Amino acid sequence: MFRAILLEKDDAGFRAGLTDLDETRLPDADVRVAVEASTLNYKDALALTNRSPVVRQWPMVPGIDGAGTVLESRHPDWRPGDAVVLNGWGVGETHWGCLAERAQLKGEWLVRRPDAFSAAQAMAIGTAGYTAMLCVLALEDHGVAPAAGDILVTGATGGVGSVAVALLHRLGFRVVAATGKADEAAYLQGLGAAAVIDRAELMAPGKPLQKERWAGVVDALGGVALANACAQTRYGGTVAACGLAAAMDLPTSVAPFILRGVTLAGIDSVMAPRSRRERAWTRLARDLDPALLAQMTDAIDLGPAVFERAEALMAGRFRGRTVVAIG
């Protein structure tokens, strides 16, 4: 038996709670993992609160991220005792996830946990931090260097934004953080933001081309904010788009792309191939300051606090990262 959060939905409605499950109920996959830590992302909060049809199969154990130790493996890459990390791949949506003491996962989904990180630190990073690293890599791959100018990070107090600010600062970039939470300026400056601007500056519809301000952008908002960020990006700059916290649409024109040579780089973390994941985790181990990671992280136990934190995330009442201690 193992403890897990179980989500159920049927004619009687939606139910969510912590329960004991028999390991025979785990889905079929070739690696069994003892989960030591998980985390809460926005997608997890959607599933836990049933605010959006994130879950595609019922019943479901949520948790799109997990870090733990291999117990059993039929996959050639993994042996019992290996320390692994899981991010995405539809886990917590179509396959039982990691807000549980046990998970049965496909070997090709797993990445070896860097020695630099404990299981808790890996989950303090989680999909949000790994996505932030993918964004930074996209900027670098398109030639954006610290000397090119300011980097805008939107949704800066969120998980992706917090890690992006810390990473970019460590790499020598001057970071401008955009947030709707004016009282969090000190938090963002502590992570390395050189300046903090009000998100409202990006939320009103603007001209297709605006004053050039940014050498690069990490955007977690989408919608009008992303459109304005593109319109304000300097000639040859790159915008890494990884989220839709504000909106899914993109009300812009081709002007920034054909007149200023701006690159709009889409960042997918869910289905990214293992080689890209390994590159991101290797760089996280090298470039993310553990002290800053601790500064943006809060820990809770697998229990009622998970549901409370999910509600806080949905209401925008929490910043940074949440680690769920499990094993």
d(CA 239, CA 229): 8
Position 234 scores a pLDDT of 98
Name the percent of the chain lying above pLDDT 90. 91
Position 79 scores a pLDDT of 98
Does residue 269 carry a pLDDT above 90? yes
The verdict on whether omega for the bond into residue 59 sits within 30 degrees of 0, i.e. cis, is: yes
Does residue 317 carry a pLDDT above 90? no
Closest CA to 181 of 245, 266, 264, 234: 245
Position 289 scores a pLDDT of 93
Residue 276 backbone phi and psi in degrees, to 5: -70, -40
Closest CA to 3 of 104, 99, 112: 99
Confidence of residue 140 (pLDDT cuts 50, 70, 90): very high
Position 304 scores a pLDDT of 95
SS3 category, 5: strand
Residue 206, judged by CB atoms within 10 A of its CB (0-12, 13-18, 19+), counts as: middle
Domain ranges of the chain: 2-113+296-325, 127-266
Report the DSSP beta bridge partners of residue 142: none
Position 320 scores a pLDDT of 84
Range in 45-59, 75-89, 222-236 with the lowest mean pLDDT: 45-59
Position 327 scores a pLDDT of 73
147-198: pLDDT as tens digits? 999 999 999 999 899 999 999 999 999 999 999 988 899 999 999 999 999 9
Higher pLDDT, 34 or 316: 34
Does residue 75 carry a pLDDT above 80? yes
Report the DSSP beta bridge partners of residue 301: 325
Position 315 scores a pLDDT of 86
Range in 8-17, 102-111, 228-237 with the lowest mean pLDDT: 8-17
Closest CA to 137 of 280, 326, 322, 314: 280
Architecture of domain 127-266: 3-Layer(aba) Sandwich (3.40)
Name the percent of the chain lying above pLDDT 70. 100
d(CA 191, CA 167): 9
SS3 category, 216: strand
Q: Which residue has the tokens 């690293």?
A: 133
Does residue 318 carry a pLDDT above 90? no
Q: How far is CA 271 from the centre of its chain?
A: 13
Closest CA to 35 of 92, 90, 76, 74: 92
17 Cβ contact list (under 8 Å, min separation 6): 5, 6
- For the domain made up of 2-113+296-325, the CATH class stated in words is alpha beta
- Given this chain, do its domains 2-113+296-325 and 127-266 carry the same CATH topology? no
